[in-house]
Amino acid sequence: MAHQSTYQPSSKLGAWFDERLPIPRMVHGQFIDFPTPRNLNYWWTFGGILVFCLAVQIVTGIVLAMHYVASPDHAFNSVEAIMRDVNWGWFLRYTHAVGASMFFIAVYIHAFRGLYYGSYKAPREVLWMLGVLILLLMITTAFMGYSLVWGQMSFWAVTVITNLFSSLDMLVPGLGTTLVQWIWGGYAVGGPTLNRLFALHYLLPFVIAGVVLLHIWALHIPGNGNPAGIDVRLKSDSLPFHPYYTIKDGFALVVFLLLFAGFVFYAPNYLGHPDNYVPANPLQTPPHIVPEWYFLPFYAILRAIPNKLIGVAALFGAIAILFFVPWLDRSKVRSTTYRPVFKWFFWLFVADCLMLGYLGSQMPEGIYVLLSRLGAIYYFAFFLVVMPVVGMFEKPKQLPGSITEAVLGKEAAAKAEASA
């Protein structure tokens, strides 16, 4: 990797091992000595938090799988048995269920951080796209996990979401139906569907873990970006990852855990929907179907569009468009802090996503439909119009000469320049 390791084995055994399989050297170079910009703020702590979240989901998930039964007759009851009979089952399940929400809180903050600070710009385009891929895999995994409970919301969410693919019938008659029956393994959502969702829900988190490794690899080639959006140039611009950022990340993780624990112990069902405590009934659709909160903005976009095929295309497009952000943004400056015009559009975009989230939870009628349409239009306009156009015409503010200057002021920076 880009940074040369200064690792010195401290024991004979260490040296012996290092010669044969240099894992200690790699860890030392990448996670202890790794030069990290000195100006990272708390928005940079969510990467570490996300790794933690993935680990929590995998550990709690594997133990839940030891008690869970993936069959339509037993799934719901086995989840109830986990809650009532299995030792600590309530704790494991609530941690897994709340954990999924916490995972999404963290990933959304992490991604908005990237959008604000231009983290997707050269040379970090591949890093960004791997991140979008992780988001896509997380969405798929969480959707499949939610289905496993086999409550009313699980069942109808699976029905509605898998039926999205039936819209292909409008392009090639029969194609959508064939595809949907292939996904179901039957003529309706049923036992075969539940089984395969479970198999994939078990698999995908490990795929995510693999992509996370690539994501971190791609990060460690150019190194971290930073709030000033300028490259590390002086020696005094960076600090070793340990102890400076192990401490900062650790502190942020503890604060994050307070919120996490608050939900698990005091409001474990706050983020869920009560209808999922009603066993799945294939003959009765609940009066109002809503997805989990983290899918609401996308759901609002789907419903904003009266045409089925275009609605589905917009839903997938809303995520796919993120892959192209590195090329849509034409600005030479990375950090929005120095972009007086783009800044407004950015915060409007954040507000738009929150509004869409609210609208996704409401009945699709009256004013809500109109607002969803406006929200969906701005969502896409932000990427397709604002990013290229503002980038070309905006006059950015003066950038600091170095990261050292951004943190310590001009005088200290001048000293550092002189000694360099």
Partner 1 sequence: MSTSITEDDEDVSRRDVILITAGGFAGVLGVASIWPLLDQMNPDSSAQALATTEVDLSHMERGQAITVMWRGKPIFIRYRTDDEVAAGKDVPLSELPDKVARNANLPDDAPATDENRAAEGKEPWLVMIGICTHLGCIPDGQAPGSNKGEFGGWFCPCHGSQYDTAGRIRKGPAPENMAIPPYAFTGDTKIKIG
Q: Does 403 bind ligand HEM (CB under 6 A)?
A: no
| Member of 123, 192, 340, 409 binding partner 1 (CB under 8 A) | 192
Half-sphere exposure of residue 116, counting CA atoms within 13 Å on the CB side? 19
Question: Minimum Å distance from CB 417 to partner 1?
Answer: 60
Going by C-alpha positions, the residue among 12, 15, 413, 45 that lies closest to residue 247 is: 45
Going by C-alpha positions, the residue among 54, 19, 15 that lies closest to residue 216 is: 54
C-beta of 168 vs 386, nearer to partner 1: 168
Q: Which stretch binds ligand HEM (CB under 6 A): 178-186, 197-205, 223-231, 412-420?
A: 197-205
Q: Are 93 and 64 in contact (CB under 8 A)?
A: yes
| Member of 123, 282, 340, 409 binding partner 1 (CB under 8 A) | 282
Q: Does 97 bind ligand HEM (CB under 6 A)?
A: yes
| Member of 20, 306, 395, 418 binding partner 1 (CB under 8 A) | 306
Cα separation of 147 and 153, whole Å?
8
| Member of 28, 38, 96, 121 binding ligand HEM (CB under 6 A) | 96
Cα separation of 294 and 356, whole Å?
11
57 binds, among ligand HEM, partner 1, none (CB under 5 to 8 A by kind): ligand HEM
Q: Report whether the peptide linkage leading into residue 243 is cis, meaning its omega lies within 30 degrees of zero.
A: yes
Task: Tally Cβ neighbours within 10 Å of residue 397.
Answer: 12
Task: Tally Cβ neighbours within 10 Å of residue 103.
Answer: 22
| Ranges within 138-167 binding partner 1 (CB under 8 A) | 156, 159-160, 162-164, 166
Q: Does 357 bind ligand HEM (CB under 6 A)?
A: no
Q: Does 187 bind partner 1 (CB under 8 A)?
A: yes
DSSP state of 1: -
Q: Which helix (H) or strand (E) holds 87?
A: none
The residue with tokens 């198999």 is: 199
DSSP state of 89: H
Q: Does 409 bind partner 1 (CB under 8 A)?
A: no
What tokens does 141 get?
């995994």
Q: Does 93 bind ligand HEM (CB under 6 A)?
A: yes
Q: Are 166 and 177 in contact (CB under 8 A)?
A: yes
Q: Does 64 bind ligand HEM (CB under 6 A)?
A: yes
Going by C-alpha positions, the residue among 262, 265, 391, 277 that lies closest to residue 334 is: 391
Binding pattern for the stretch 10-49 against ligand HEM, x by CB under 6 A and - elsewhere = ----------------------------------------
Instruction: Enumerate binding residues for partner 1 (CB under 8 A).
Output: 156, 159-160, 162-164, 166, 170, 181-190, 192, 196, 282-289, 303, 306-308, 311, 364-365
Instruction: Enumerate binding residues for ligand HEM (CB under 6 A).
Output: 54, 57-58, 61-62, 64-65, 68, 79, 93, 96-97, 100, 103, 138, 141-142, 145-146, 148-149, 201-202, 205, 208, 272
